[in-house]
């Protein structure tokens, strides 16, 4: 038997509604998640789906329109467009995720430090973010990409340098507002060390918002990767990449428009999927 309760618990507790039913009631998360899952699924299983290799040329069947043999047609070297498209997704999505890891962690961490401790740390980090934000983003990207040479490495280095700013700014604001809340003050007066408050209490509270920002930021990063590829300072051929595919199709835009349009649409598709996921996650966490 339960002991007599002095005052009854609230009937509607936060986590009593199961996570699954909350996800089910967030259509944008479902749709976005499904779209992204389809893309990832294709990227993972493409060797079993397609009989072609991404760089496999067939000069006797170049610039073919979509058919049952080549679902999206072939390019000027007779490579299967669908196969290349999905292999390009592998490259671009992999870089997108990997390039976000370090900036996300540094940004969230620095943001928490600046927001929580304030004072000179805040001034310093604000100064740094404001200076970097004053430069046009693509200017920095192109300079660093040139300096470090084309290819994946340049993208990683660029994003390590500038990618953290977005997260630092958002998390800094959030942390500063949490800092004004009573539970942080309470934890301080009860004698918890600052590190503990930041890692155990502040971090879980800022993380949802940071992840929502991460989703939008990944779209920007993907567009940057594709742009660099298009400009010829990103992924280098023959590695399949949406940016180089768009650039390659330029000369045939009047005769075989799908060569450029399809990778472009793939970028849009990924962008929509990610922003729906971000939107859905924000909804999900708000509902609680």
Partner 1 sequence: MASNTVLQVEALSLATKSKKLVDNVSFSLGKGESLGLVGESGSGKSLTLRAVLGLLPRGIEQTGGVIKSDVRSAMVFQDPRGALDPLCPVVAQVAEVIYYRQKVGRKASRIQALELLEMLGLPDSLKRLDRYPSQLSGGQCQRIVIAMALACKPGILLCDEPTTALDVTVQRQIIETITSLQRELGFAMVFVTHNLAIAAALCSKLCVMKEGQIVEHDDTLSLLQNPTNPYTRMLLDSVLPLPELEGSEQ
The only residue of 193, 232, 237, 238 in contact with partner 1, by rule CB under 8 A: 193
Q: Are 225 and 235 in contact (CB under 8 A)?
A: yes
CB-nearer residue toward partner 1: 5 or 21: 5
205 is a site residue for partner 1 (CB under 8 A): yes
The only residue of 134, 191, 195, 254 in contact with partner 1, by rule CB under 8 A: 191
Question: What is the distance between the alpha carbons of residues 190 and 197, in angstroms, rounded to a whole number?
Answer: 11
Q: How many CB atoms lie within 10 A of CB 121?
A: 15
CB-nearer residue toward partner 1: 7 or 18: 7
- Can you give the C-alpha Rg of the chain in angstroms? 24
* x-or-dash string of contact with partner 1, 136-175, rule CB under 8 A: ----------------------------------------
Contacts 24+ apart (CB under 8 A), 178-184: 178/115, 178/202, 178/205, 178/206, 179/115, 179/116, 179/118
Q: Are 124 and 276 in contact (CB under 8 A)?
A: no
187 is a site residue for partner 1 (CB under 8 A): yes
Question: What is the distance between the alpha carbons of residues 11 and 17, in angstroms, rounded to a whole number?
Answer: 11
**Where do we find the tokens 């996921």?**
277
The only residue of 182, 195, 254, 286 in contact with partner 1, by rule CB under 8 A: 182
287 is a site residue for partner 1 (CB under 8 A): no
- Identify the bridge partners of residue 74 per DSSP, sorted by sequence position: 80
183 is a site residue for partner 1 (CB under 8 A): yes
Residues 9-38 that bind partner 1 (CB under 8 A): 9-10, 13-16
Peptide bond into 31 cis (omega under 30): no
CB-nearer residue toward partner 1: 205 or 227: 205
192 is a site residue for partner 1 (CB under 8 A): yes
CB-nearer residue toward partner 1: 21 or 255: 21
Contacts with partner 1, residue ranges (CB under 8 A): 2-3, 5-10, 13-16, 180-183, 185-193, 196, 200-201, 204-205, 288
């Amino acid at each position: 038997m339960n002991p007599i309760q002095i005052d009854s618990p609230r009937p509607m507790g936060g986590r009593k509604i199961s996570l699954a039913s909350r996800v089910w009631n967030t259509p944008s998360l479902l749709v976005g998640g499904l779209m992204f899952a389809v893309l990832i699924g294709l990227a993972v299983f493409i060797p079993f789906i397609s009989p072609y290799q991404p760089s496999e040329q067939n000069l006797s069947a170049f610039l073919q329109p979509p058919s049952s043999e080549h679902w999206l047609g072939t390019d000027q070297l007779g490579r299967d467009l669908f196969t290349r498209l999905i292999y390009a997704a592998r490259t671009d999505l992999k870089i997108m995720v990997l390039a976000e890891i370090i900036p996300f962690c540094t940004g969230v961490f620095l943001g928490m430090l600046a927001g929580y401790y304030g004072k000179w740390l805040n001034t310093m980090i604000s100064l740094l973010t404001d200076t970097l934000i004053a430069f046009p983003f693509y200017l920095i990207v192109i300079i660093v990409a040139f300096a470090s040479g084309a290819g994946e490495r340049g993208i990683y280095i660029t994003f390590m340098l500038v990618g953290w700013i977005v997260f630092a700014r958002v998390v800094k604001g959030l942390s500063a507002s949490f800092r004004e809340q009573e539970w942080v003050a309470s934890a301080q007066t009860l004698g918890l060390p600052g590190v503990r408050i930041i890692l155990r209490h502040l971090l879980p509270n800022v993380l949802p918002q940071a992840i929502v920002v991460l989703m939008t930021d990944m779209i920007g990063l993907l567009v940057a990767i594709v742009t660099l590829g298009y400009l010829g300072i990103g992924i280098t051929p023959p590695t399949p990449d949406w940016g180089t595919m768009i650039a390659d199709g330029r000369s045939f835009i009047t005769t075989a428009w799908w060569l450029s349009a399809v990778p472009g649409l793939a970028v849009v598709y990924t962008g929509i999927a990610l922003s729906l996921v971000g939107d859905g996650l924000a909804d999900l966490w708000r509902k609680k």
